[in-house]
């Protein structure tokens, strides 16, 4: 009798009544796997990725252990701990060491996992994923980037070159550099790295033999080679004025613009040309160069110096003041990204981190473009360097339509439908002709799962609006919140594609980079939380809070790249600017003679007609309206496309192009029209003529041409 009662309790839900024990229902349902992370077959997975199995019902934590969820690489087990998250009904595996780069892993969930009624998984399940490669990796070519593992800022030049459409480089640690290696390249870009006497002599010998060297805040041992006389002093947080009357400064902004970090002070020696001058503030010049170049030897060698570290400056310009991390500065209790830029804190008044008198200028992008101009200038008498244009089909501006739906009844649906109504008839989604958008929503939004599925099928992008509760957070708490919000969203919208973009509610940003690092763990690759706001601060001035209009990866405090792209929300409905004129101003600066090109992130919350104002302004200018997912696909595809085997064949420059499938037919290349061998006469691919147009970009005349995979021949004469 006792055994019968025990079996009944184990196999059925029961209640006690006045008349005794009554069986209500029997649990004969076995748990099953609802989803896994990373998804099966995923590539480019972050090295700290969340490895999870979510079940269709609660399981007994006692059945979850190190043998329940296992990870291996090429058959070798990976040491890990395993826990159970009751809120998300997920087994979570935590490797003892970070995952290895470019490695295929296989995860296995065992059949022994079961619920408290004794039901177990019908069968075990395995799936595989592959981790990302080195983020500093290039595709090889005439450019060598030299970095140091001990100084990760130096690795960020790979991201700068990618953003500027240059993938034809190789990146090598200084410890692996030899004279033989350097001799294989036309141009070397040397990060801000200390050098030994032998290394300095090696670079000097190579330049005298005809090599082209660009240095960043160079080791003082190179001063003589660079035509600089050390003044034994430095200038922190200064400005620079680029000389725009002649190349390579021609076409770059003619205003004084900030750099961040320290610049060493030098005097020029005879024969050295100043490209940009250091300023102690926006109006007071110093005698010292910010950028200079010198011809070396008798066979065409050149040596150029940026006397500050461009990579560090770009990161700080884009992400804010590292000294203000965790500092609430703008008078609002929530620490947000704008606090990293806000100077006028009560009790600690300082200048804004990025000068609002220059806020219309993408100062980080302009300095990157100066670097590219210097590279082209140095290579003019060698093989010119083909590049990829920033955006599809030669567009100079793109609007990323991104709405935050805080539980509206039909805000997302109405906005998506308006975009479809206004898009060109017969438009091509693949060619970015149709109007699309992203909506980040609360799970209690009025959008139904069936309608969400239908919109996703039409190319719209829908994900959860992660809610930190408008509170500051601890990184570990944020990871838990992010996981739980993703779970709640997937419970309702189980058949939507994995979420790859995010902008968190209230924009809480309590430190430097825990948000993108957490996002990377959960497969989110693009973040729009850097938000141009509040109105009392920006005072109606359209511009670039982050100094940039380009999608580029975040960096940690030590300069290490994080595999999540930062896209600023430049156009925000609650910023207090005059709309639609502020939208029009931002777009016209990109399209006009200033050339302030950009991907412009947007924010609206369905409380007004801001999405319609954005649509009208873009439609009038032929500017694409795209989702975050579309932008991510393009950015990843463009960064995976490249030119290789660049060399002269008589009076023709030949190279191979490799176009990633994600760019479709929208990729455009650009190559200088003029070289030491004349100007372009014709371009062909695989023996067939290619149409091209000539356009001056940042002071350089380029031939702009469509790029498909194949063998190209550019004839000069």
Neighbour tally for 265: CB within 10 Å: 20
Instruction: Please say if the pLDDT value at position 92 is more than 60.
Output: yes
Q: What is the pLDDT of residue 24?
A: 55
pLDDT more than 70, % of the chain: 96
Minimum mean pLDDT among 16-30, 299-313, 438-452: which range?
16-30
Confidence of residue 473 (pLDDT cuts 50, 70, 90): confident
Confidence of residue 23 (pLDDT cuts 50, 70, 90): low
pLDDT more than 90, % of the chain: 93
Task: Give me the phi and psi of 625, to 5 degrees please.
Answer: -115, 115
Confidence of residue 122 (pLDDT cuts 50, 70, 90): confident
Q: What is the pLDDT of residue 510?
A: 92
The 461-464 sheet, strands edge to edge? 402-405, 438-441, 461-464
Instruction: Please say if the pLDDT value at position 5 is more than 60.
Output: no
- Is 591 within 8 Å of 603 (Cβ atoms)? no
Q: What is the pLDDT of residue 2?
A: 39
Q: How far apart are the C-alpha atoms of 113 and 416, rounded to whole Å?
A: 42
Instruction: Please say if the pLDDT value at position 511 is more than 80.
Output: yes
Neighbour tally for 509: CB within 10 Å: 28
Sequence-distant (6+) residues with CB within 8 A of 333 are 472
Copy the structure tokens of residue 149.
Answer: 């593992």
Q: Position of tokens 């009554």?
A: 22
pLDDT tens digits, 211-241 = 999 999 999 999 999 999 999 999 999 999 9
Q: What is the pLDDT of residue 4?
A: 37
What is the pLDDT averaged over residues 110-127? Answer: 93
pLDDT tens digits, 662-688 = 999 999 999 999 998 999 999 999 999
Q: How far apart are the C-alpha atoms of 174 and 145, rounded to whole Å?
A: 9
Query: Mean pLDDT across the chain, nearest whole number?
Result: 95
pLDDT tens digits, 45-85 = 999 999 999 999 999 999 999 999 999 999 999 999 999 99
Kindly give the pairing relationship between strand 678-685 and strand 710-716: antiparallel
Instruction: Please say if the pLDDT value at position 19 is more than 90.
Output: no
Q: How far apart are the C-alpha atoms of 114 and 334, rounded to whole Å?
A: 43
Q: What dihedral do alpha carbons 221, 371, 174, 187 form, nearest 10°?
A: -90
Q: Where are the beta strands (DSSP E) in 237-323?
A: 239-242, 257-258, 262-268, 272-279, 285-296, 301-306
Q: Is the pLDDT higher at 21 or at 304?
A: 304
Neighbour tally for 469: CB within 10 Å: 11
Q: What is the pLDDT of residue 468?
A: 82
Q: How far apart are the C-alpha atoms of 303 and 292, rounded to whole Å?
A: 8
What is the pLDDT averaged over residues 629-656? Answer: 97
pLDDT tens digits, 177-198 = 999 999 999 999 999 999 999 9
Instruction: Please say if the pLDDT value at position 6 is more than 50.
Output: no
H or E stretch at 359: none
- Is 95 within 8 Å of 48 (Cβ atoms)? no
pLDDT tens digits, 512-538 = 999 999 999 999 999 999 999 999 999
Q: What is the pLDDT of residue 164?
A: 98
Q: What is the pLDDT of residue 26?
A: 67
Q: Domains in the chain, ordered, with CATH?
A: 1-30 (no CATH), 33-130 (2.60.40.1220), 143-317+355-379 (3.40.50.880), 389-637 (3.20.20.370), 642-716 (no CATH)
Q: Is the pLDDT higher at 461 or at 7?
A: 461
Copy the structure tokens of residue 237.
Answer: 């947080």
What is the pLDDT averaged over residues 231-258? Answer: 98
Sequence-distant (6+) residues with CB within 8 A of 692 are 680, 683, 703, 704, 705
Instruction: Please say if the pLDDT value at position 475 is more than 90.
Output: no
Q: What is the pLDDT of residue 381?
A: 87
In terms of residues, how long is the chain?
717
Confidence of residue 25 (pLDDT cuts 50, 70, 90): low
Instruction: Please say if the pLDDT value at position 347 is more than 90.
Output: yes
Task: Give me the phi and psi of 552, to 5 degrees please.
Answer: -145, 155
DSSP 427: -
Q: What is the pLDDT of residue 1?
A: 37
Candidates 645, 665, 676; CA nearest to 706 is 665
């Amino acid at each position: 009798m006792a055994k019968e009662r025990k079996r009944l309790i184990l196999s059925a839900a029961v209640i006690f009544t006045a008349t005794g024990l009554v069986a209500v229902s029997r649990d004969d349902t076995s748990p099953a796997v609802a989803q896994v992370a990373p998804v099966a077959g995923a590539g480019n997975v972050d090295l700290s990725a969340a490895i999870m199995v979510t079940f269709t019902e609660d399981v007994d934590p006692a059945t979850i252990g190190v043998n329940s969820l296992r990870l291996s690489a090429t058959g070798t087990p990976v040491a890990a701990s395993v826990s159970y998250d009751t809120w998300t009904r997920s087994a979570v595996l935590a490797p003892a060491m970070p995952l290895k780069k470019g490695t295929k892993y296989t995860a296995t969930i065992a059949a022994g996992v079961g619920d408290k009624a004794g039901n177990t998984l019908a069968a075990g399940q395995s799936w595989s994923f592959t981790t990302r490669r080195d983020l500093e990796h290039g595709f090889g070519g005439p450019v060598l980037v030299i970095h140091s593992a001990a100084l990760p800022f130096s690795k960020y030049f790979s991201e700068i070159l990618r953003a500027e459409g240059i993938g034809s480089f190789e990146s090598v640690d200084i410890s692996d550099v030899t004279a033989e290696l350097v001799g294989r390249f036309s141009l070397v870009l040397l990060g801000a790295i200390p050098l030994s006497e032998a290394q300095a002599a090696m670079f000097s010998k190579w330049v005298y033999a005809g090599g082209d060297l660009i240095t960043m805040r160079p080791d003082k041992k190179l001063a003589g080679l660079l035509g600089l006389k050390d003044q034994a002093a430095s200038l922190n947080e200064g400005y620079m004025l680029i000389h725009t009357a002649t190349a390579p400064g021609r076409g770059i902004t003619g205003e004084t613009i900030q750099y961040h970090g320290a610049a060493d002070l030098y005097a020029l020696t005879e024969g050295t040309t100043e490209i940009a001058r250091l300023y102690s503030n926006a109006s007071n010049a110093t005698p010292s160069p910010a950028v200079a170049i010198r011809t070396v030897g008798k066979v065409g060698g050149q040596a150029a110096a940026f006397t500050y570290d461009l990579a560090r400056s770009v990161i700080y310009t884009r992400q804010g003041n590292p000294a203000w991390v965790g500092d609430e500065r703008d008078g609002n209790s929530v620490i947000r990204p704008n606090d990293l830029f806000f100077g006028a804190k009560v009790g600690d008044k300082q200048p804004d981190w990025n000068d609002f008198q220059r806020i219309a200028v993408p100062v980080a992008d302009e300095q990157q473009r100066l670097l590219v101009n210097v590279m082209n200038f140095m290579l003019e008498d060698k093989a010119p360097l083909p590049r990829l244009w920033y955006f599809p089909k030669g567009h100079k501006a793109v609007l990323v339509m991104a709405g935050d739906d805080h539980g509206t009844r039909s805000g997302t649906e109405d906005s998506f439908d308006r975009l479809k109504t206004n898009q060109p008839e017969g438009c091509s989604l693949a060619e970015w002709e149709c109007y699309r958008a992203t909506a980040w929503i609360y799970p209690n939004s009025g959008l139904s799962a069936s309608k969400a599925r239908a919109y996703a099928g039409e190319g719209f992008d829908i994900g959860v609006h992660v809610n930190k509760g408008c509170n500051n957070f601890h990184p570990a708490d944020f990871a838990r919140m992010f996981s739980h919000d993703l779970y709640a969203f997937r419970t309702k919208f189980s058949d939507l594609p994995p979420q790859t973009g995010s902008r968190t509610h209230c924009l809480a940003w309590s430190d430097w980079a825990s948000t993108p690092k957490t996002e990377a763990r959960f497969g989110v690759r693009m973040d729009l939380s850097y938000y141009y706001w509040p109105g009392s601060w920006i005072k109606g001035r359209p511009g670039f809070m982050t100094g940039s209009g380009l999608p580029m990866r975040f960096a940690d405090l030590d300069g290490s790249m994080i595999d999540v792209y930062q896209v600023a929300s430049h156009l925000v409905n609650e910023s207090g600017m005059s709309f639609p004129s502020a939208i029009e101003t931002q777009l016209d600066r990109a399209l006009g003679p200033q050339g302030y090109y950009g991907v412009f992130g947007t924010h609206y919350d369905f409380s007004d007609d801001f999405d319609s104002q954005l649509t009208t302004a873009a439609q009038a200018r032929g500017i694409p309206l795209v989702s975050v997912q579309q932008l991510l696909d393009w950015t990843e595809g463009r960064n995976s496309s490249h030119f290789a085997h660049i060399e002269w064949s008589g009076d023709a420059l030949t190279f191979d192009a490799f176009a990633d499938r994600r760019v479709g037919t929208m990729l455009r290349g650009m190559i200088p029209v003029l070289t030491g061998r004349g100007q372009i006469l014709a371009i062909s691919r695989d023996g067939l003529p290619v149409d091209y147009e000539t356009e001056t970009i940042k002071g350089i005349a380029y031939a702009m041409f469509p790029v498909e995979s194949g063998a190209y021949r550019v004839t000069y004469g």
